[in-house]
Amino acid sequence: MRGSTPLAPASNRTEIGMALPTLAFLVVSLIIGLYASRRVKGSVRNYFVAGHVIPFWVLVLSLCGQALELGGTYDNTARAMAVGFWAGAVLPLGIGTSLILIGMFFAKPLHAMHLLTLPDFYSRRFNMFSGAMVAVLCIISFIILIAGNLAGMGILMEMAVGLPPDITVPAIAALVAIYTIAGGLFAVTWNDVLQSGVLFLGVAVALGVLIFGGSPGVLEQAFANRFSWAPLTTLASGSISVWAGFLALGIGDIVALDFMERVFAARSDRAAQSSCYVAGVVTIGVGIAMAVIGMIGSTTAAGAAEGATLLQFIDTLPSSVKMLFVMALLGAGISTIDGAIMASTKALSRNILQTFMPVQIPDTRLLLVSRLMVVPIAIAAVLLALVFPVPGELLILAFDVVFAGCVVPLTLGIYWKRGTGQAAVLAILFPSILRLALYFFYADLGLDPRLKGIDTLIPPLLSLAIFVGVSWNQSRPESTRTAPQPTGALQ
C-alpha cells in the first residue's frame, strides 16, 4: 500500500535455513524475466503494455502484486499488532477500494484508448505539458516507493540470508533491473504470478497455523485486544486521519501508474475491468488477513512486549511458517519494485524525454531509451534506499501530492467533455503546491492536531474547483479543438 511506512530496522539475526529457498525464489524470478524477453520482439507496445494480451488471471495476480507492496503489507500487520485493526487494515481497504473504483469507472474507457502510459492520457486529452507534469510527479513518488521497498527487502534479506543491506539492496535492484530491461511488462507481470502466488501462500499458511495451530480462543482474544469501531467514529481516536488515509489511498491510487499499465495491458476491456474488481477484493481480503495476523501477534508474549516489532513476532513462528511468511514479504517487495521501475521508466522515456526531444528519440529509438532509463531509475532508488532507508512521511507526502493534482483531471477528462488543457495544468499544479505547503506549514497554521489528515483532503477539492472553474470559463469546449499530439505513430 502506498503512503505507508516501510520496514523498521531489523534485529541482526541470521537464518541460514532460509538461504536456499530465498535463492531459489530470486533465481526463478530472474529466469521468468529473461524467458519473458522472448515476447518483446523489438516492439515498444510489447515492452510497454505486453501487446495488450495479458489474460484475466495474470492481471489479477499482477494487480495484487502491485497493491500489496512490502512497506504497506508489513506496516498493516505491524500497526494492527501495535495499535489496532483499523490502523493497519485501512491500508488494504483503501487500496482495494481504489482498484474497485478503477474497475468501475476507468478500466474500460482507458483500455479502449490503447494507451502506452497513464500520462499519455493527459497528453492526448489535454496537452503534452500536463502529461509531462503528471509523469514528473509520478516518477518522484515511485522512486521513493521503490526505495522504501528496497530498504525493506534489505532488512528481510538480512534476516533470511544474513547479508547486510549494503550488498543485498543493490543486488536485488540489479536483478530486477536486468529482467525488466529484458522483458518489459511481460517480465514484470509474469513475475507477479510467482511473487503474488508466494505472497498468498505465505499469508494463508501463517494465518491458518496461527488460528488452528495456536492456543484455543486465540482469535477471540486478538479481537478483544485490538478491535474497536472507535477509530472510525471518534475524533479523539484519530478518525479523521483514518478516513483521510482511506480516501487518499482509495481515490489517490486511481492514478497509480503501475495499476494503469496493467489495465492497458489487458487482452480486453472486460478482462481489465473484471481483474480490477477481483484484485480489489483479493487485496482487501489478504490485507485483512495480514491485519488479523498482527492482532494475533499482539496476544503472544513476543508481540505484547513493550516496543515489540513485527520482526520479533515473526522470529517466534515455527520455522516452516516463518520461512513462508518471509518469502511472502519478499514477494510483496519484489513485485512492487519491478512494477514501479517499469512504470517510472516508461513515463520518463515516453512522456518526458520523447515529448521534449522528439527528434533525438523517434519511435524507433523509444524501446532502447526506455531500457536504458531503467538504470538511472534503479540507481536513484538504491541510493535513496541506502541513504534514507525509512522514507515514511516522505512516501506519504509523495503520493498525497499525486492525489492532490492528478485525480480530478483524469476523472473529468474521461467523463466531462468541457475540460480544457489549461484547466488541467492549473488543476495539477496549484493543488500539488498547496499540498506541499500544508505539509511544511501545517503546525504554523494553528490547526487542531486532531484534524490531521484534512491537509490530504483539501488539495483535491481545490483541484476540482480549479478544473471546473477554468474549463467553464473557457469560451468553447476543448473537445472541438485539436490538442497537440505526441510525436510518432505510437499515440
Residues that bind another protein (CB under 8 A): 16-17, 20-21, 24-25, 28, 31-32, 35-36, 38-39, 41-46, 51-53, 55, 58, 114, 190, 193-194, 197-198, 201, 205, 209, 213, 267-268, 271, 318-321, 323-324, 327, 363-364, 489-491
How far is residue 51's CA from residue 183's CA, in Å, rounded to a whole number? 12
Work out how close the CB of 186 gets to another protein at its nearest, in angstroms, rounded to a whole number: 10
Output the smallest distance, CB 57 to another protein, in A: 10
CB 178, min distance to another protein, A: 17
In sequence order, the β-bridge partners of residue 397 are none
Geometric angle at alpha carbon 288, from 287 and 294, rounded to 5°: 95
Say if CB 132 and CB 125 are below 8 A apart: no
Residue 399 half-sphere exposure toward CB, CA atoms < 13 A? 30
Label residue 47 exposed, middle or buried (CB < 10 Å: 0-12, 13-18, 19+): buried
CB of 357 to another protein, least distance (A): 19
Q: Decide whether 324 or 390 has the Cβ nearer to another protein.
A: 324
Alpha-carbon separation of residue 125 from 130, 132, 216, 419, 462 (angstroms): 9, 13, 58, 9, 21
Of 79 and 346, which has the nearer Cβ to another protein?
Answer: 346
Minimum Å gap between C-beta 218 and another protein is: 17
User: Least distance from C-beta 296 to another protein, angstroms?
Assistant: 17
In angstroms, what is the minimal distance from the CB of 124 to another protein?
Answer: 12
- Nearest distance in Å: CB 111, another protein: 10
Pick between residue 2 and residue 124 the one whose CB is nearest to another protein: 124
Question: Residue 308 in contact with residue 225, Cβ under 8 Å?
Answer: no
Which one, 320 or 479, has the nearer CB to another protein? Answer: 320
Which residues, 6 or more positions from 310, have their beta carbon under 8 angstroms from its beta carbon?
A: 74, 77, 78, 81, 294, 297
Cα distances from 41 to residues 29, 37, 47, 159, 203, in angstroms, run 20, 8, 9, 39, 37
Rounded distance, CA 119 to CA 427, Å? Answer: 15
Q: What is the nearest approach in angstroms of another protein to the Cβ of residue 52?
A: 4
Kindly tell me which of 175 and 254 has the beta carbon lying closer to another protein.
175
Among 21, 81, 54, 84, CA closest to 327: 21
Residue 480 Cβ vs another protein, minimum distance, rounded to whole Å: 20
Distance CA 155, CA 486 (A): 42
How many separate helices (H) and strands (E) can be counted in the chain? 22, 0
- Compare residues 46 and 298 and give the one whose CB is closer to another protein: 46
Three-class secondary structure of residue 482 per DSSP: coil
Shortest distance (Å) from residue 62 CB to another protein: 12
Q: List all residues 6 or more positions away from 102 whose beta carbon is below 8 Å from its beta carbon.
A: 254, 259, 260, 263, 276, 280
8-state DSSP, 54: B
Cβ-based nearer residue to another protein, 24 or 305: 24
Q: For residues 464 and 490, which CB has a smaller minimum distance to another protein in the complex?
A: 490
Task: Give CA–CA dist 228/226, Å, rounded.
Answer: 7
Closest CA to 195 of 99, 286, 103: 286
Alpha carbon distance 147, 383 (integer Å): 8
* Residue 328 or 470 with smaller CB distance to another protein: 328
Nearer to another protein, 116 or 133 (CB): 116
C-alpha 202/C-alpha 218 separation (Å) is: 20
Please enumerate in sequence order all residues whose Cβ is within 8 A of that of 270, keeping only pairs 6 or more positions apart, or say none. Answer: none
Q: Which is nearer to another protein, 217 or 318 (CB)?
A: 318
Task: Write out the three cell numbers for 297.
Answer: 501477534
Name, in order, each residue with C-beta under 8 angstroms of 40's C-beta and a sequence gap of 6 or more. Answer: 46, 47, 182, 183, 184, 186, 367
CA distance 42 to 78: 44
Of residues 53 and 433, the one with the C-beta less far from another protein: 53
Least distance to another protein from the beta carbon of 151, Å? Answer: 24
